[in-house]
Structure 1
Amino acid sequence: MKTCIATVSISGTLSEKLEAISAAGFDGIEIFEQDFITDSGSARDVGKRIRDQGLSIDLFQPFRDFEGLPGALRAKAIDRAERKFDLMQELGAELMLVCSSVHPKALGGIERAAEDLRALGERAAARGLRIGYEALAWGRFVNDHRDAWEIVRRADHPNLGIILDSFHTLGRNLDPTSIRQIPGDRIFFVQMADAPRIDMDLLYWSRHFRNMPGEGDLPVTDFLRAVLAAGYTGPVSLEIFNDQFRGGSPRTIARDGYRSLVTLLDDVRRAEPEVRADLPVIPPRQRLEGTAFVEFATRGAEGDTLRSQLTALGFVETGRHLAKAITLWQQGDIRIVLNEEEGDFAGSAFNMHGTSVCDIGISVASSAETLARATALGATGFAQSPAVGQLDIPAIRGLGGGLLHFLDERHASVWRDEFGVDRSGPRGAGLVSVDHIAQTMTYDEMLSWSLFYSSLLGMSKAPMVDVIDPDGLVRSQALAAPDGAFRVTLNGAETHRTVAGSFLASSFGAPVQHIAFATEDMFATARAFAAAGFEALPIPGNYYHDLAARFDIAPAELARMQRHNILYDEDETGTFRQLYSRPAAGGLFFEIVERTGGYSGYGAPNSPFRIAAQKRLAPPKGLPRD
């Protein structure tokens, strides 16, 4: 299966785009005419440069406003097409995209359009070229792939076919099932794009908010299933218009594009295995079984502070690594690793970020297959020489340069072999598991990391929510395994003035801002914390007056919640309690949660109150932090 991407999808100069597209693993490109025009090289030079990158030119686009023009305008359109044919032959491009007309003087009529495109197909055939006709969702007369196909069918020329674009079909809520009736050899090219569901003008939506398959809300898998079931055997390409991507890193965007396309093809192969024998075969998403460990890079006085925090949370040091300066802290099924080794990855992470989460271990059904899938999707593997007696566990680079290790049943002995521990932790304060891990990034990185988790681990996305900070806006999106065994929240900061943005700035991009631990009895945990000297984030009385107005909470329970600074939320399925630690230096903090019933959220209505409370403890604006 040949994979392509339109050059318009990638930021940068044409040379930067080509280098990024090639490095990501694509086979070919759609060359967007503007990218060629702005380059200083001749068409022959540009074509050679593309091929030198190991890429083919599978589509030249766009050619606009051709069919249905009267008189002199029609003659001029044919002249334009001949000039573009000259250019294509110099470039080495064989197929041109003709999109349905939006010209104000164009005339409607399927027969008229078919006649014009038949004539253009004849001219293309004389040059050894082909024409693909695409229905723009906002086309003046043709805005439906079914009408475009009828025009191509009536034109009946071997050098004329249809080009299908998922956005133009799905953006208009058209059922892609009808595509299955189009002969596969008459489909000349296929373009894929996703988008968030937004009620706005189609043209504006398309030009500014398209994103990679899997990053939006459109049923792109159903679309491609229909295309391949029709018998299409050509390339599958990405055509993305997105303001955010226009300012992003070319290599990051290209890598995400390739990851999204391989994931999409894999999803189609699994949903409809008979459609194409040449679809990529990669391991399936593995079942997630929980958080195996969370590892902190720390050292010296900062390490002492972290140990004090963990002790106040009820954790106990249960083991020391047989060969390294690493300790294991446990409570219930939670494992926290404190790595003070100076010569390995944790040492470099500490030098960069200070005390921070440098590694997350995820329990999966098969670590080998998870690593193989990650590699196939373009993830960067990680390895360092293991110490004596240390297991070699598969790992990749994750957010912010941190690590993700994948553990399965073959690694069950790691704690006994390396730390001399072969049991769960003590009950402590009643914390039983890691509920979720909150990762902070710039807003521009959110789509990339959402795609990473959903494509690699099969985590489902909750709708993105806006979290109000007194000094700005933070976008937040939660992803979770189907049974909630592993959860992450992605928080995108747009300014360093927010709590999330301040954490990013002060930690030089550390990936994890807080960890949420689960308890089955919040009040018992809060009492144990108080006895151990835990300092909760103070929540003002106004919050609890508001709770009394919004929810039917018994006065005695509300008083207990206020006494322990516990926040509360509920929905039709269950209830949710939250308790936060005070932020440590740099902004890292801990959260304790209790879920009852089927509550699967994260207490989003409480976020503004938590953020305001954290800001009250921060130094006054303009003063340096300690």
Structure 2
Amino acid sequence: MHRSIATVSLSGTLREKLNAIAAAGFDGFELFEADFINFSGSASELGRIAADLGLSIDLYQPFRDFEAMPEAQFRRSLDRAERKFDLMQAMGASLMLCCSNTSPLVKDDPALAAEQLHALAERAARRGLRVGYEALAWGRATSLYSQAWEIVRRADHPSLGLILDSFHTLSLKDDPAGIAQIPGEKIFFVQMADAPLMAMDVLQWARHHRSFPGQGDFDVVGFFAQALRAGYRGPLSLEIFNDVFRETPNRRTAVDAMRSLLWLESQVRERLAAAEEPRGRLPAPTVELCEPPPAPQLGGMGFIEFAADEAAAQALGQRLQQLGFARIGRHRSKAVTLYRQGQVHFIVNAQPDSFARQRFELHGTSVCALGLLAQDPEGAAARATAMCSQRHDSPRGPGESALPAIVAPGGNLIHFLPQSPDIESLLRADFVFDEPATGCEGHGLLSVDHVALGLAVDQLDTWVLFSRAVLGLEPGESLELADPFGLVRNRGLSNAERTVRLVLNASVSQRTQTARTLSRTGGGAVHHIALRCEDIFATVQRMRDAGVGFVPISGNYYDDLPTRMDLAPEFVARLRAAGVLFDRSAEGDYLHIYTQSLEEGLFFEVVQRIGDYDAYGAANAPARLAAQALQHP
């Protein structure tokens, strides 16, 4: 597959954009006209720079307000096109994008549009160039791909074809199934863009909120599958208008972009294969699609590792013991301590000159690594590297476990652990266990329910895509939580079995609790860990008796609770006395409470799920955030 990206998708000068595009492994790029206008060199110089980087100039775009115009404007536009053709020939671009007309002068006359586009294609053909016609979602006369195709069909010129853009089709909720009926050779180019579902003007949506495939809510897989069913063999490209991407370091954005295309290709391959399987044959491939190792089958959170120094490790150990964790062992060769309660394993790493110590020096006491149980750990790591993630090899002593690990966005590590033998057998290879285990008795915590991350705004989409493409998690609903000082964007992701759950939080405001935690931790950090129990009232009482402090919730919250839900007064009184929050869905109930934060902002949540409740108590987030704002002004 020839992979391309529009220069408008990245931040920086044109030279910086091209360097990032080449470094991420793209084959070519779409040149956005404004980038060239502001380029300090000539068209031929740009062509040489692209060639030196191993990049082709796949598309020059956009050429606007051309077709179905009055004669005078049409003639002037032909002259304008000739000047663009001069530039394209000098730089080595062979295809120009002509988008559907938005001028108030345009006539709703498909025959005239076809006639004028035929004339444009004839001019292009004389120079060995081609023109692709694209329907803009806000085009005055042509807004649907089917309308654009009918005009291209009528024009009937070999140098005129169709350009498809997933955003323009899917934002209008147009059915892409008809794409499969278009002759593949008449589809000249395919641009992909995802987006969150938003109720807003389509032009503003398009100009500010597009995202890479896998980061939004559109069925981009189904869209591209239809183009391949049509027999399309051209480039697969990205055209993303996004305000955050315009500020984000372009090397990181380019890696995200490449990961999104690899994920898209692999998902389309799987969908096409599944569609053809009942007929006993695979579809004849028109292009070579990415085929990475399968997404990992994850079995849960094997361990969570904290970075500390000697003093911080001691303080964190005391907090964990208050929470009911027992210190069960020390590492055979490093200053690393192991704590356990139920199926939860916490590792506190205070080893000098280690990766964890580097993270501590940067961010203080914080989570530096997650250990995920996987059916095939090496396959999971191979999937990650195929999806643009970096492997990490930790130093280890004789006989210690060799666990494949990768670097997650933001720099923390994710280790993949075998699901068998059991986790204790694996840990005993690295740790000398206390016999019997020392520390407090457990308070009823069973497992890690979810891990919540506080992210900079420009990391949120990166983490959504990483979680989908690398870890095989699927996103839930995107929410906005009300902090007293701003809004926090929130999105949960999980595997189908719900054994691994991540919750992502990002704040535009610099004054929210999430933003303040980020400022202390350096950004992109785990800000709380939710631990599941079976009887939250008993667990919380044991923790209070052990000295654990919880975030105090306003009494007004409990006064309001029975006005929103049909709850017995005795049950509300019990919630109030314990300081426990409550949420209910059609599937079940959710009870939860938050501990007071460590100095760096990290805290714990104790949760109890009843029935098939599948969310994270987002309705209660304002109560928690307001209480934390009072504690940490």
Shorter-chain-normalised TM-score: which range? over 0.9
2:370 is paired with a residue whose SS is: strand
Separation (CA, whole Å) in 2 of partners of 1:176 and 1:555? 53
Separation (CA, whole Å) in 1 of partners of 2:524 and 2:322? 24
Question: 1:188 corresponds to which letter in structure 2?
Answer: F
Q: How does 1:424-435 map to 2 (within 5 A)?
A: 428-435=442-449
Contact 1:416–1:422 (8 Å) recurs in 2? no
**Structure-2 change in CA distance of 1:317 and 1:9 (3 Å):** same
Separation (CA, whole Å) in 2 of partners of 1:510 and 1:366? 27
Select the residue among 372, 394, 408 that pairs with 1:362: 372
Q: How does 1:466-477 map to 2 (within 5 A)?
A: 466-477=480-491
Contact 1:361–1:404 (8 Å) recurs in 2? yes
Q: What are the superposed Cα offsets for residues 564-598 of structure 1, whole Å, 9 maximum, x if unpaired?
A: 21111111211111121111112111110000001
Contact 1:332–1:427 (8 Å) recurs in 2? no
Aligned to 1:462: 476
Aligned to 1:222: 222
Q: CA deviation at 1:563?
A: 2.3
**Structure-2 change in CA distance of 1:424 and 1:460 (3 Å):** farther
Contact 2:452–2:527 (8 Å) recurs in 1? yes
**Structure-2 change in CA distance of 1:69 and 1:616 (3 Å):** closer
**Structure-2 change in CA distance of 1:251 and 1:398 (3 Å):** same
2:429 is paired with a residue whose SS is: helix
Q: Is 1:415 aligned to residue 427 of structure 2?
A: yes
Contact 1:121–1:131 (8 Å) recurs in 2? yes
Q: Is 1:495 aligned to residue 495 of structure 2?
A: no
Separation (CA, whole Å) in 2 of partners of 1:411 and 1:25? 39
Aligned to 2:276: none
Q: Is 1:555 aligned to residue 569 of structure 2?
A: yes
Separation (CA, whole Å) in 2 of partners of 1:23 and 1:54? 10
Aligned to 1:340: 350
Q: What are the superposed Cα offsets for residues 105-141 of structure 1, whole Å, 9 maximum, x if unpaired?
A: 2333222222212222222111111111111112222
Aligned to 2:534: 520
Q: Is 1:612 aligned to residue 626 of structure 2?
A: yes
Separation (CA, whole Å) in 1 of partners of 2:181 and 2:159? 20
Aligned to 1:135: 135
Contact 2:328–2:434 (8 Å) recurs in 1? no
Question: 2:145 corresponds to which letter in structure 1?
Answer: H
Aligned to 1:511: 525
Separation (CA, whole Å) in 2 of partners of 1:472 and 1:141? 41
Aligned to 1:52: 52
Q: What are the superposed Cα offsets for residues 251-308 of structure 1, whole Å, 9 maximum, x if unpaired?
A: 1221111111110111000110324351111112111210010001112322222111
Q: Structure 1 residues 346-355 or 67-76, which shifts more?
A: 67-76
Separation (CA, whole Å) in 1 of partners of 2:522 and 2:143? 48
1:560 is paired with a residue whose SS is: helix
Q: Is 1:285 aligned to residue 295 of structure 2?
A: yes
Q: CA deviation at 1:8?
A: 0.8
Separation (CA, whole Å) in 1 of partners of 2:287 and 2:135? 29
Select the residue among 303, 307, 312 that pairs with 1:297: 307
Aligned to 1:246: 246
Q: Structure 1 residues 142-151 or 85-94, which shifts more?
A: 142-151
2:369 is paired with a residue whose SS is: strand
TM-score (norm 1): 0.96
Select the residue among 364, 373, 391 that pairs with 2:383: 373
Q: CA deviation at 1:422?
A: 11
TM-score (norm 2): 0.95
Q: CA deviation at 1:83?
A: 1.1
**Structure-2 change in CA distance of 1:399 and 1:89 (3 Å):** closer
Q: Structure 1 residues 421-430 or 70-79, which shifts more?
A: 421-430
Q: CA deviation at 1:414?
A: 2.5
Question: 2:386 corresponds to which letter in structure 1?
Answer: A
Q: CA deviation at 1:43?
A: 0.4
Q: CA deviation at 1:339?
A: 0.6
Aligned to 1:263: 263
Aligned to 1:485: 499
Aligned to 2:234: 234
Question: 1:22 corresponds to which letter in structure 2?
Answer: A
1:59 is paired with a residue whose SS is: strand
Contact 2:550–2:596 (8 Å) recurs in 1? yes
Aligned to 1:317: 327
Q: Is 1:327 aligned to residue 337 of structure 2?
A: yes
Aligned to 2:610: 596
Aligned to 2:192: 192
Q: CA deviation at 1:372?
A: 1.5
Contact 2:456–2:524 (8 Å) recurs in 1? no
Q: What are the superposed Cα offsets for residues 378-400 of structure 1, whole Å, 9 maximum, x if unpaired?
A: 11221232223222211111243
1:363 is paired with a residue whose SS is: strand
Question: 2:218 corresponds to which letter in structure 1?
Answer: L
Aligned to 2:153: 153
Aligned to 1:89: 89
Q: Structure 1 residues 459-468 or 338-347, which shifts more?
A: 459-468
1:548 is paired with a residue whose SS is: helix
Aligned to 1:166: 166
Contact 1:478–1:490 (8 Å) recurs in 2? yes
1:435 is paired with a residue whose SS is: strand
Q: What are the superposed Cα offsets for residues 331-354 of structure 1, whole Å, 9 maximum, x if unpaired?
A: 111100011101210111111111
Q: What are the superposed Cα offsets for residues 113-170 of structure 1, whole Å, 9 maximum, x if unpaired?
A: 2221222222211111111111111222211111211121122211111111111111
Q: CA deviation at 1:559?
A: 2.8
Aligned to 1:26: 26
Aligned residues between the structures: 619
Separation (CA, whole Å) in 1 of partners of 2:514 and 2:67? 52
**Structure-2 change in CA distance of 1:351 and 1:2 (3 Å):** same
1:527 is paired with a residue whose SS is: helix
1:231 is paired with a residue whose SS is: coil
**Structure-2 change in CA distance of 1:332 and 1:410 (3 Å):** closer
